[in-house]
Amino acid sequence: MDISIGSAHHIIHDELKFRKVCARWVPKRLTPEMKERRVDACQELVRQYEADGEAVLQHVVTGDESWVHFYEPERKQQSMEWRHTSSPKPKKVQTQRSAGKVMLTFFWDYNGPILKQYMPRGSTVTSATY
């Protein structure tokens, strides 16, 4: 195009009002049919709640998965020490992001936790696992 980078930047940002944005991470892409099934299930739960009240909540079980890291990060407050102003500053080796991780699957109901299970390394969460 034979224009300077500054001119291109001006056109893109100031004239066309374009901005760089990051894609938002979503766990799954749902098809319209999947969305419709979720709406139907939620509407059925609302109908049951309207008919039976709080009692229906005692029959709902839900679950989730999360990665659990093998390290316990120390908060800044925990690492603080009383030192004299003339004392050398304490040095701390930066902890690795994670020495490893494992998938935790957790289920609970109205009364609290039902099941907590750490998945074996290399396994995946599938419908058979549930």
User: What's the CA gap between 116 and 64, in Å, rounded?
Assistant: 10
Signed CA dihedral, 77, 80, 84, 86: sign only: negative
What is the per-residue pLDDT for 27?
67
- pLDDT-wise least confident of 1-15, 54-68, 86-100, 108-122: 86-100
User: Using one digit for the tens of pLDDT, what is the confidence trace for 19-75?
Assistant: 877 766 766 788 899 999 999 999 999 999 999 998 888 888 999 888 887 766 666
Whether residue 27 is contained in a domain is answered as no
pLDDT at residue 87 tops 70: yes
pLDDT at residue 105 tops 60: yes
Tell me the DSSP string of the chain.
----HHHHHIIIIIIS-----PPPP-S-PPPHHHHHHHHHHHHHHHHHHHHHGGGGGGG--EEEEEEEES--PPPHHHH-----TTSPPP--PPPPS-S-EEEEEEEEETTEEEEEEEPPTT----TTT-
For residues 57 and 95, the answer to whether their CB atoms sit within 8 Å is no
What is the per-residue pLDDT for 37?
95
What is the per-residue pLDDT for 40?
96
Whole-prediction pTM: 0.46
What is the per-residue pLDDT for 78?
66
Whether residue 19 is contained in a domain is answered as no
For residues 104 and 121, the answer to whether their CB atoms sit within 8 Å is no
User: Using one digit for the tens of pLDDT, what is the confidence trace for 115-127?
Assistant: 998 888 777 777 7
Whether residue 86 is contained in a domain is answered as no
The domain containing residue 128 runs over which residues?
61-71+91-130
Whether residue 112 is contained in a domain is answered as yes
User: What's the CA gap between 130 and 119, in Å, rounded?
Assistant: 11
Whether residue 23 is contained in a domain is answered as no
Q: 109: pLDDT confidence band, cut at 50, 70 and 90?
A: very high
Side chain identity at residue 70, one-letter code: F
